[in-house]
Structure 1
Amino acid sequence: MNKTKILIFPLDIDDADTFIRTAKALGIETVGASSAMAGPGDKAVDHFIRLPFVTDPAFDRALQDALAQHAVTTVHAPHQGVWRHLATLLKTQPERFRFTLCAPDPFSATQQRFAPHEAWAASLASGTPLAGLATPESIRPALSPARYSALHRQFLSIPGDSDVGKLRALCDIARLLPTGDLLEVGCLYGRSAFALGYLASQYALGSMICVDPWNTAELTDQGAAAAIINVELANTDIDSEKIFRVFLNAAALLDNVGYIRATSEKATGQYEAAIRSGALHSPELGSIPASGKLSLLHVDANHRYDHVQRDVELWSPYLVEGGWLLLDDYVWAFGDGPRRVGDALLGSPLYDSAFVSGDTLFLRRTGVH
């Protein structure tokens, strides 16, 4: 049995919410305390107490009593001034106060949270791995470190399997893309779609179009080797509408992103209609231009061979010369559908360059039709 009991004070700081969720996941009992709130409100703590403000002479005694009454072992203080006061109590009055104060202090914690984003952004300045695929003068300039850092931070805040290695490859490939729409088949929460939309916006490439039914009733199995994944098709706890809302939450930050909520087969008709009208309209996101020419196609839907093959057949005719086809999970532990399709394309005159980054195969389209 977990004997840790954490006091979270002040409870009304936003950073307390993330901490509470983590404590709950670890099975740790939580006590929320506030000097301003009359009750816990929507904070999911197990207990709630009122404490005086730390500037009140009565605070130290009230805290000591609360620690004893609730058998608190640990204190999380997401306010810099409160944290500093508690650290001083531990140092100056160890006989009265015997608890573990979560470290580091809030200011340092914030710096630690943002440092990896800045470090990743700085790493992009160390050369251009794809320089051999184009002449130096045809490669677009890198984005500023601040823009890469912001992309990295938002990318990691969106659920998904795409890792930062793939994000780096997307950042590199965006500097080589011809102009045209970018289209992703199979978006789920939209992690890679957001990255592509952001890069398309920064380089004025075109619209980012997301194709996904966001409907578990329309999903089919991904082959025998993917049994551990297929079982989720019958999981009634998965609400595809909630997944779609998460997608919108990120996509709405960009003004060049739209979606077609349909299977790949059905989406082509809607895309053609958008081409004829010149625009794709997406509820809650508005209208974006639809050129009918793809500079990038990212296939990341059902990984069963026949599905991957069909997605490529449906969408690759829109891919322009110099555009890139990305086959997600070319290296995949649960089947060989993407690999079989990709290996066939590697020997095709339709593509003249290829590389693998992480689990994804990148192929550049030639002018051959």
Structure 2
Amino acid sequence: MPASTTINKPILIFPAGVPRSLDYLARCQRDGQAVIGSSSLAYDVSKPAYPEWAVLPYVNDPGFPQALQELIAHRGVAGIYTPNPVVWSYLHDLLKDMDSPVKLVNASPVHDEMSGYRAATAHARKTQATPLPIATHAGGKAPLAELQLAALFRHGNIIPGMCDDEKISALYEIARHCTRGDVVEIGSAWGKSAFILARLARLYEIGKTLCIDPWQSEYVTQNDDGGLVDNCIHQYDYDEALRVFEINLLPYSANDINYLRLPSVDAEQHYRQRRPVHSPSFGTTTYAGKVALLHIDGNHAYAAALADVTAWAGHVVSGGWIIIDDYIWPYGDGPQRAGDEFLNGNKDRISCAFVMGTALFLQLQ
């Protein structure tokens, strides 16, 4: 919101009933910003959601400019929000012609809608132009086309999570240099990195993706330095987090994605003893029983991180990868200590090792 607006002077939201308008209403209500909803419909179902309401003619009605001026004057409107491209363009010119102190509070909706796609295309081009020079014995598979890479970035970044574009680029490069087998992720949360891994596994025919996460509060205490991470645990609803994971991943599953709602060590016992995994949302998926790519991003307490590495690293086959996320972590050194212990104890098994962003990447000989 521009600095010229205050919580005491209302923002006019017009038209008020479209999804982006309702999202903006929720944001204003969180911030304590006064709002007026408005519509040109004789009856708008969104009206009860707004504390104040006004009716305006359609923007192509000759009486619209006068009606808007009167509404601004009588209700003390400080700014206008509209997610409709036609309305935004019209108001942008009208307010200028009126020499009104009231301005649109949002940029062009077309720009807003397209910005994520433009950014994804830019990341795809950058990734193609600056491939990660991986020193590995495994021959790299063909790079993805720009469109495939842009889709990977765009769909991945719609999902909330901490997997940034630098890490997505690194995951893409190691997928090109990965053998066949299962892709196993420890700690999936809302499913952002799980989507990236599953999509790459399908594109490069690596194997099926298995996500491991207890999605229960008693397993997420990190014992981080200062307790900043542990202090925010209460903000999460872990049943809801699993539902969000399912919503995010289900459209992309073709019987090649599933999950175990178990602590990592218990899930390893299941994986070692039986190949099929069943969940109500994804059905039954049968795994190979050998891991080509292991992504560890579970509990970051040292004991938990070490337990994840110890339990699962033995399943990773020659040419496979182990990724320890948050190897560089400002709240503690649990993942780094676990990663260093594995490095020091398995030097003869590791053919490639590097840190990219905050993650440690290891490829086994």
TM-score, scaled to structure 2: 0.90
Q: Deviations over 1:17-74 (max 9, x none)?
A: 3333433343322222111362452885432222221122232222222222321111
1:327 maps to which residue? 324
1:358 maps to which residue? 357
Q: Would you say 1:317 and 2:320 are equivalent positions?
A: no
Counterparts of 1:273 and 1:54, CA distance in 2: 66
Counterparts of 2:47 and 2:289, CA distance in 1: 47
Shift of 1:160: 1.6
Match of 1:46 among 24, 43, 51: 51
Query: Would you say how many aligned residue pairs link Structure 1 and Structure 2?
Result: 356
Q: Deviations over 1:245-278 (max 9, x none)?
A: 1111111122121100011122123323541xxx
**Aligned counterparts, 1:276-295, within 5 A:** 279-295=276-292
1:240 maps to which residue? 238
Bigger Cα displacement from structure 2, 219-228 vs 302-311: 219-228
1:304 maps to which residue? 301
Shift of 1:285: 1.6
**Aligned counterparts, 1:5-84, within 5 A:** 5-36=10-41, 38-39=43-44, 41=46, 44-84=49-89
CA contact (8 A) 2:226 2:331 kept: yes
Counterparts of 1:112 and 1:232, CA distance in 2: 31
CA contact (8 A) 1:5 1:28 kept: yes
Counterparts of 1:205 and 1:42, CA distance in 2: 51
**Aligned counterparts, 1:196-275, within 5 A:** 196-217=197-218, 219=219, 221-223=221-223, 225=225, 227-233=227-233, 235=234, 237-255=235-253, 256-275=256-275
Shift of 1:335: 1.6
Shift of 1:107: 2.4
Q: Which runs of 5+ in 2 are unaligned?
A: 1-5
Q: What secondary structure sits across from 1:124 in the alignment?
A: helix
Bigger Cα displacement from structure 2, 318-327 vs 85-94: 85-94
Query: Taking structure 1 as reference, are residues 226 and 258 closer, same or farther at Cα in structure 2, changes over 3 Å only?
Result: farther
1:124 maps to which residue? 127
Bigger Cα displacement from structure 2, 121-130 vs 194-203: 121-130
CA contact (8 A) 2:178 2:320 kept: yes
**Aligned counterparts, 1:116-155, within 5 A:** 116-134=119-137, 138-155=139-156
2:175 maps to which residue? 174
Q: Which runs of 5+ in 1 are unaligned?
A: none
CA contact (8 A) 1:304 1:338 kept: yes
CA contact (8 A) 2:224 2:301 kept: no
Query: Taking structure 1 as reference, are residues 44 and 317 closer, same or farther at Cα in structure 2, changes over 3 Å only?
Result: farther
TM-score, scaled to structure 1: 0.89
Identity of aligned residues (%): 31
Bigger Cα displacement from structure 2, 305-314 vs 85-94: 85-94
Shift of 1:159: 1.8
Letter matched to residue 225 of structure 1: D
Counterparts of 2:286 and 2:355, CA distance in 1: 31
Shift of 1:153: 1.8
Root mean square deviation, CA, Å? 2.1
CA contact (8 A) 1:40 1:48 kept: no
Counterparts of 1:72 and 1:5, CA distance in 2: 5
Q: Deviations over 1:112-168 (max 9, x none)?
A: 342211111111111422343246xx2111212222222212222222222111111
